[in-house]
Amino acid sequence: MNQEMNQSTGTPSAQAAPKKNYTTLLVVLLAISVIANIWLMYNRKQVVEQNTFLITENTDLNAAKDTLQGQYDAALARLDELTGKNAELDQMVKDKDGEITKLKSDIKSLLTKRNATVSDLKKAQSLIATLNTKVKTYEERIAELEKENTVLTEGNNRLNQQNDSLSGEAENLRKLGSVLHISNIRMEPINLKKNGEKEVATTKAKKVDILRVVFDIDENRVVNDGPAEIYVIIQGVEGKLLSNAAYGSGVTTDADGNALNYTVVKRINLEKGQRMTNVTVDWKQESAYQKGDYNISFYNNGYKIGSGSVQLK
């Protein structure tokens, strides 16, 4: 009767084992496995792509070889960038018997080996690391040389500027040194008698026919032999310039580039280191001289080199 009651209520008997549903568990485990495999593959790829990675018996040798080849190509590209930047380092890189050439040859031999072993790839990896170290050393050395060159260039520029400045100063000094110096200035108002055959000194304005200026040129050891010009400026009463273009008056410039009106120019032939005495400049004008003070200035190479005055009564 008990058995019938169990059957009618649908309750399993004590002797029957319960059936569990393993589908969900299997799906979860499968998903975990897939995710783990994906992560492991990705992690292995990341490790292989790094500059240094572990090569073991379980390493995908083809992938490792591709990565090493990429690293080697990158090192060669860095070497190419360095070429031409420094002659000394260029020679080190290009030297057939040099260490760089041997490294490149050994690495290429290992990476192109058809059945490269784990040992071969490890050796290639070590050689590539050595190559990268040397490339880094060259890069640092070139950076130092470029910095030194920059410093030298800046120093040379400063020296050139200083030389230009000194040259300019030397030229200015030479120019100043070549400026003539006059002394013993005398002014002699002259009255002409007997149709100009006789000259008589006078101080009376109405009798003056020629205003004569006499001076000496001191010796100059800087100026070269040859022609020189001395500009004479005569200012009469109230500072009025005595001038007449027909008698040689004109305009020049002073050392500052300003216009300088002159009465007459005296052209002379100099001898280096020789003194010239009694250099004479005569000024004759058509109009009569007025009573008063007459000031005379002398210019050479734009610089004032002397002055004097005379009074006419």
Query: Structural domains in the chain?
Result: 44-178 (no CATH), 182-312 (2.60.40.10)
Tell me the C-alpha distance between 165 and 146, whole Å: 28
Q: What are φ and ψ of residue 101, in 5° steps?
A: -60, -40
| In the predicted structure, residue 29 carries a pLDDT above the cut 80 | no
pLDDT surpasses 60 at 285: yes
Of all residues in the chain, the percent with pLDDT exceeding 90 is: 6
- Alpha helices (H) in the chain, listed in sequence order: 2-9, 23-49, 61-82, 87-94, 99-111, 118-178
How far is 289 from 310, CA to CA, in rounded Å?
12
pLDDT of 235 above 60: yes
pLDDT at 86: 65
Q: Which residues contact 100 (CB under 8 A, 6 or more apart)?
A: 79, 92, 93, 131, 134
Instruction: Please report the pLDDT score of residue 178 as a whole number.
Output: 65
Beta bridge partners of 165: none
Q: Tokens representing 115? A: 């059945």
Question: What average pLDDT does range 84-94 have in this prediction?
Answer: 65
| Calpha distance 136→213 (Å, rounded) | 83
Gyration radius (Cα) of the chain, Å: 53
3-state class of 13 per DSSP? coil
Are 118 and 56 spatial neighbours (Cβ–Cβ below 8 Å)? Answer: yes
Tell me the pLDDT tens digit for each residue of 200-224: 888 888 888 888 889 888 877 667 7
Question: What are the tokens at 226?
Answer: 């040859």
Can you spell out the DSSP letters for 132-181?
HHHHHHHHHHHHHHHHHHHHHHHHHHHHHHHHHHHHHHHHHHHHHHHS--
Calpha distance 206→188 (Å, rounded): 15
Q: What is the pLDDT of residue 49?
A: 43
What is the average per-residue pLDDT within 182-194?
A: 85
Strands 226-235 and 264-270: antiparallel
Return the structure tokens found at 157: 């520029």
Q: Decide: 304 and 297 in contact? Cβ < 8 Å.
A: yes
pLDDT at site 261: 94
Q: Tokens representing 262?
A: 């002159």
Q: Do residues 311 and 188 make contact, with C-beta atoms less than 8 angstroms apart?
A: no
User: What amino acid occupies position 257?
Assistant: G
The residue with greater pLDDT, 100 or 173, is: 100
On the question of pLDDT at 112 being above 70, the answer is: yes
Do 253 and 260 contact (CB within 8 A), yes or no? yes
> Distance (Å, rounded) from C-alpha 154 to C-alpha 84?
22
Q: What is the pLDDT of residue 34?
A: 60
Average pLDDT, the chain: 78
pLDDT band with cut points at 50, 70 and 90 for residue 41: very low
Bigger pLDDT: 15 vs 305? 305
In angstroms, the CA 58 to CA 163 distance is 71
222 versus 100: the higher-pLDDT residue is 100
Model pLDDT, residue 222: 67
Q: What is the pLDDT of residue 19?
A: 47
